[in-house]
Chains A and B, each alone.
Chain A
Amino acid sequence: MSKTTASKESIREMICISCPIGCHLQLFKDENDSVVVKGNRCPRGKEYGREEYFAPKRIVTATCRTDSEIFPRLAVRTDHALPKEHIDNLLSELYQMEVHLPVKRGKVILEDYAGTGVNLIASITLEGGGNEGQVRSQL
């Protein structure tokens, strides 16, 4: 098998981001047309390479508007990595939204986005009513 892949060109090259080493991965197609990952130093690299090739996903972090003047933006995040092809639509949608305070960290803002099973959740607790920051001056 290796003789066959050695004479082929890689179908994709990438850097693995599972750990700080950053192995340079090369992906090839074998004679069964399966994707093979080379260059990884550990099994996580193999998994990352395949996933990145077939179904690249990313954690998305952004902000959306609130109804508070003190804290006009709410930090939000996807609770899991979202398939890349949905990111632009997610961003468009969340920029149109306005979230009503109070919001607790972890509250689901958008559920099961585009049927991916990934939720958009609040990344911070904003209590609203002037106590957005949760702690007031107390001497």
Chain B
Amino acid sequence: MTKSDVAIIGAGVSGASIARTLSAYELSVTLLEKEADVSFGTSKANSGIVHGGFHHNKKYLKTRLEIRGNLMFDRLQRELDFPFKRCGILVAALKEEEMKYIDHLYSQGVENSAIGIEMCSRERMFELEPKLNPDVVGGLYAPGGGIVEPYRFVFSLVESAQKNGVELLTGFKVSRSQPSGDGFLIEAEDGRRVQANWVVNAAGLYADNVSAILGAEEFTITPRKGEYYLLDRLTRAAPTRVLFPVPTKISKGMLVIPTVEGTVLVGPTADDIEDKEDLATSAENLDKIFDSARKMIPTVSQNDVITSFAGLRPALAEGDFYIDISKKAPHLIQVAGIQSPGLTASPAIGEYVKDLLKKAGCRLTEKSEYDPFVEKVPRIRDLSHYDADTLIQKNPDYAHIVCRCEEISEAEIVEAIRRGHTTLDGVKYFTRAGMGRCQGGFCSYRIIKILVRETGMTYEQVTKRGAGSSLLVGRL
């Protein structure tokens, strides 16, 4: 049984950020994740946008945390190892009557102190984004907005937390709980147990289920599905800025997003569903997404699609974040309903939860040996030929290019595995191997072989993303 001061349930972007923040204090912290790896829930399907602070009113907690979180990304990029670019966000109005929404967003942005926010004329819009639909009449520019690789961000937060003493338990699906002193004794489906004085419920889609298990508040998380399509990095339609249409009541709309690694995402849709495990994409939404995307960039083409995927937002009826000390269980902090702008807000969520713990009576003493930095993994694709030469001389595995579409070397894959990413998807999210245009058609067998070699797994144990997703069924 593991005993710790704090147990965080859920290692998505919220849980990961909270873990890292708490790792700076003299506390034993256990981070519990039900999947085989962190970021395998909603966070892996995140659109990767660091929002510009104008989409929501300041009265909402989510807005205040978004604004604060946005400002923390530059420092985080220096300390951690994830790609981030402040490329700017544009909201495009396609009709004159849409300009009143732009006005509204602009006012909100000003009220929220969104840095550099601008109302744009048609000409200014084209100056900022030449590929826009010529029908655009004007819009909004938020230079403070940007893009990240969401899973690299989460991996890095967790790595930093682990470096500073946080223990990560994966495959830990909370199934039972009973009070234990002031805290909880939590049991997983496989029998493992954690006793913690304080618990943070950051269980995303399952925050309501976990809250019920912990005997706390009743609320309902409704899965809201978003489907995306990923376009080849060579597509003509790649924009420079993140492009939003004017928002609707239910969502920020279907976007065209340049990813920080150079591909393009179109989507997401927003459909409330019932099944928290339904991640299927559909033919109907394909057309919907492309029609919408073409309204902003006419050259977007289905021919450029290399893959598609879906994610489920954990939606609460109220629409705001529910981050508070539980009224039913004073040693429980609820962190639920973290939809957009969750990723943007996550650094601030970490701080906010830390303050709530303090308010609830948890003693927080700063750790003198806290080290905010993680070791950055050299990636050969980022280097000039001559710098690559130096790297190869140090480690010849950098010259074994395993994923040729994205230029990922064996050395990077081995590093991913050594850092605990032992599924095909885990390796993929850490290195990008398999995310290129051939989608693993060339490199998958190589990654499988490296996994077997590095971990000593048998071939049946190699999975795509954990239990049940076996890749190979037999050996000849």
Direct touching of A and B (C-beta under 8 Å): yes
A residues with CB within 8 A of B: 63, 65, 73, 95
Chain A residues with CB under 8 A of B476? 63, 65, 73, 95
4 A/B residue pairs, CB under 8 Å, sorted by A: A63-B476, A65-B476, A73-B476, A95-B476
Closest partner residue, chain A, to B476 (CB atom): A95
Closest Cβ of chain A: how far from B408's Cβ, in Å?
23
Kindly identify, within residues 419 to 476 of chain B, every residue whose CB is under 8 Å from any CB belonging to chain A. Answer: 476
Closest partner residue, chain B, to A72 (CB atom): B476
Closest partner residue, chain B, to A73 (CB atom): B476
Q: Closest 4 CB pairs between A and B?
A: A95-B476, A63-B476, A65-B476, A73-B476
Chain B residues with CB under 8 A of A65? 476
Closest partner residue, chain B, to A94 (CB atom): B476
Closest Cβ of chain A: how far from B332's Cβ, in Å?
53
CA distance A73 to B476 in the complex (A): 9
B residues with CB within 8 A of A: 476
Closest Cβ of chain A: how far from B164's Cβ, in Å?
40
Chain B residues with CB under 8 A of A73? 476
CA distance A95 to B476 in the complex (A): 6
Chain B residues with CB under 8 A of A95? 476
Chain B residues with CB under 8 A of A63? 476
Closest Cβ of chain A: how far from B137's Cβ, in Å?
61
Closest Cβ of chain B: how far from A73's Cβ, in Å?
7
Closest Cβ of chain B: how far from A67's Cβ, in Å?
15
CA distance A63 to B476 in the complex (A): 9
CA distance A65 to B476 in the complex (A): 8
Closest Cβ of chain A: how far from B472's Cβ, in Å?
14
Closest Cβ of chain B: how far from A131's Cβ, in Å?
19
CA distance A73 to B475 in the complex (A): 11
Closest Cβ of chain B: how far from A12's Cβ, in Å?
34
Closest Cβ of chain B: how far from A120's Cβ, in Å?
16
Closest Cβ of chain A: how far from B206's Cβ, in Å?
43
CA distance A65 to B475 in the complex (A): 10
Closest partner residue, chain B, to A65 (CB atom): B476
Closest Cβ of chain B: how far from A80's Cβ, in Å?
24
Closest Cβ of chain B: how far from A19's Cβ, in Å?
34
Closest Cβ of chain B: how far from A65's Cβ, in Å?
7
CA distance A63 to B475 in the complex (A): 12
Closest Cβ of chain A: how far from B174's Cβ, in Å?
42
Closest partner residue, chain B, to A63 (CB atom): B476
Closest Cβ of chain A: how far from B399's Cβ, in Å?
12
CA distance A73 to B445 in the complex (A): 15
Closest Cβ of chain B: how far from A76's Cβ, in Å?
12
Closest partner residue, chain B, to A62 (CB atom): B476
CA distance A42 to B87 in the complex (A): 71
Closest Cβ of chain B: how far from A68's Cβ, in Å?
14
Closest Cβ of chain B: how far from A98's Cβ, in Å?
11
CA distance A21 to B355 in the complex (A): 80
Closest Cβ of chain B: how far from A30's Cβ, in Å?
47
Closest Cβ of chain A: how far from B217's Cβ, in Å?
56
CA distance A74 to B476 in the complex (A): 12
Closest Cβ of chain B: how far from A87's Cβ, in Å?
16
